[in-house]
Structure 1
Amino acid sequence: MKKALLLHSSREGQTVKILRSIESELAGNYECELVDLHDMPEVNWAEYDKVLIGASIRYGHLNKKLYRFIENNLSALNEKKAAFFCVNLTARKPGKDTPEGSVYMKKFRKLSPWQPELQDVFAGALYYPRYKLFDRVMIQFIMKMTGGETDPAKEVEYTNWDRVKDFSERFRSL
């Protein structure tokens, strides 16, 4: 059976949840291995037919470890059938949920030497009750500025699972 490496740079777990959904969609065609990119794994690239990296935005930035991983593995990533998606709360708004409309994807394309042929953007989730005080207050402030949910008792999932399923199909066909 073919094998896919699913790497994640996740903070609150929504990126992992999205990757698990993609893994489910790939079942029967690919054996998937889910790995935390923050652990800076040594990858035996010959084991994998495809690679997918999912990364979340926190306070306007992708994790620096993502860029370090890309730099350390650039030639292998360029040789593989590979894809990338980022997860952020801005993508809850129409027009900001595409690679062309997402300021974060534009920034990724500018900063990353790796430019995978398949890219996408998904809206994340708010988990106010799970956040530490500082994070909750900061995220509430950002959400207030952008017209989003600010109730600290709420958990809101903005991810469009139909778009995730469509992306899964495009990744499978890559």
Structure 2
Amino acid sequence: MKKVLCLYSTTDGQTIKIFKHIQKQLVGYQSELMDLHKVSQVDFQQYDRVIIGASIRYGRLNHKLYQFIEQNLAELQNNKVAFFCVNLTARKEAQKKDTPEGSVYIKTFLKKSPWTPELIGVFAGALRYPRYKLLDRLCIQLIMKITGGETDTSKEVEYTNWKKVSLFAISVVDM
């Protein structure tokens, strides 16, 4: 059976939830989910595909993602590896913020990273006000107010477009 490795970098868990959805779509593949923050080396030869998913927090991807890329650059460039970014700005689909071309986070990632993924996805995340610590809740509420998003701190809102995630999973299989 073919194998796919799913490496995640997440703050609040939505990236893992997206990966679990992707795993259900990977018919014919055995998948393994791993925390990118806890691995430094991966035996890419064990996998037919690798997917890296990372979330944005306060406008940035975690620095451990960039460290992983630096340490595994040759393998990333020589294997079938897809990447997706999870962020709340991607909820603005009408403005194309959910596309690699329209995502400021992907543009920044591609400038900072020595690696250009073969396949790139951008997915809206989830807003989980009741689960955040007070300072995070207030900061995120301010950001959402500035960007025209939900500001009611009693709410949890999931913006992820699951159909788009499914289409990405199909594209991973077709790489």
With normalisation by structure 2, the TM-score equals 0.97
1:117 partner letter = E
Residue 12 of structure 2: aligned partner:
12
Q: Which amino acid aligns with 2:7?
A: L
Secondary structure, counterpart of 1:104 in structure 2: helix
Q: Show the counterpart of 1:159.
A: 160
Query: Structure 1 residue 72 and structure 2 residue 71: aligned?
Result: yes
- Asked whether the equivalents of residues 40 and 71 of structure 2 are also in contact (C-alpha less than 8 Å), the reply is no
Distance 1:11 1:26 in 2: 24
Q: Say if 2:57 is the partner of 1:58.
A: yes
**Amino acid corresponding to residue 48 of structure 2 in structure 1:** D
Which segments of structure 1 move beyond 6 Å, counting only runs of 4 or more?
none
* Structure 2 residue identity aligned to 1:79: N
**Count of equivalent residues:** 173
In structure 2, how many angstroms separate the alpha carbons of the residues matched to 1:42 and 1:73?
7
The 2-side partners of 1:47 and 1:117 are apart by 19
1:108 aligns with 2:109: yes
Deviation at 1:136, TM superposition (A): 0.3
Equivalence map 1:91-130=2 (5 Å)? 91-94=90-93, 95-130=96-131
Q: Using the TM superposition, give the Cα deviation of residue 67 of structure 1 relative to its aligned residue in structure 2, in angstroms.
A: 0.2
**Superposed displacement of residue 120, structure 1:** 1.1
Q: Give the unaligned 5+ runs of structure 2.
A: none
Q: CA deviation at 1:42?
A: 2.8
Q: Deviations over 1:6-64 (max 9, x none)?
A: 0000000000100110001013x110000000113431221111110000000000000
Give the SS at the match of 1:150.
coil
Q: What is the percent sequence identity of the aligned residues?
A: 62
2:140 aligns to what? 139
Alignment-derived partner of residue 26 in structure 1:
26
Q: Matched residues in 2 for 1:2 and 1:78: separation? A: 20
CA RMSD of aligned residues (A): 0.7
